[in-house]
Amino acid sequence: MNEPDDSFWMRMAIDLAIEGRTAYGAVLIDGEGGQIGGFNTTPLHGPTAHAEMNIIRRMTELDYDEASELVLYTTVEPCPMCMSAVVWAGIGKIVFGASITEASRYVPQIRINAQDVAAASWLHIEILGGVEKARCLELLENSIG
């Protein structure tokens, strides 16, 4: 049986974003097949309730020995706040769909990319962008208005 790949997990993040009626969905997985997911809830829970922050707060629900084993899938590149939380949490890999620069065409963004935040830290984080990008950009296009 084939293991799920990056596109599989990103499609799950996209589905969560659609469920939450937002452009922002995220999934955090461990190496044992465990997963937690969420979406942006800022209208209900305030300005820090981004999809990534919501699941980082729940990461202890997963089964892992080292946080560096965890992989975060998110429809839009983590903003500087979320990326800083990823660093402090010790998550080892980020996979995103649309970049901060691409997202800024649709909604206001602080245009500091995840790679720059990671490079300014002590932690090595693998970062992969552009997975299911067209579908992630559709989420942003459809969220206008």
CB 56 within 8 A of CB 85: yes
Q: In what order do the strands lie in the sheet with 126-128?
A: 35-39, 25-29, 71-76, 93-98, 126-128
Residue 108 has a CB neighbour count (10 Å cut-off) of 7
What's the gap between Cα 21 and its chain centre? 16
List alpha helices for 5-112, DSSP H: 6-19, 42-45, 51-56, 80-89, 100-103
Given the residues 32, 52, 69, 138, the one annotated as active site? 52
> Has 126 been annotated as catalytic?
no
One-letter amino acid for residue 81 of the chain: M
Instruction: List, by residue number, the catalytic residues.
Output: 52
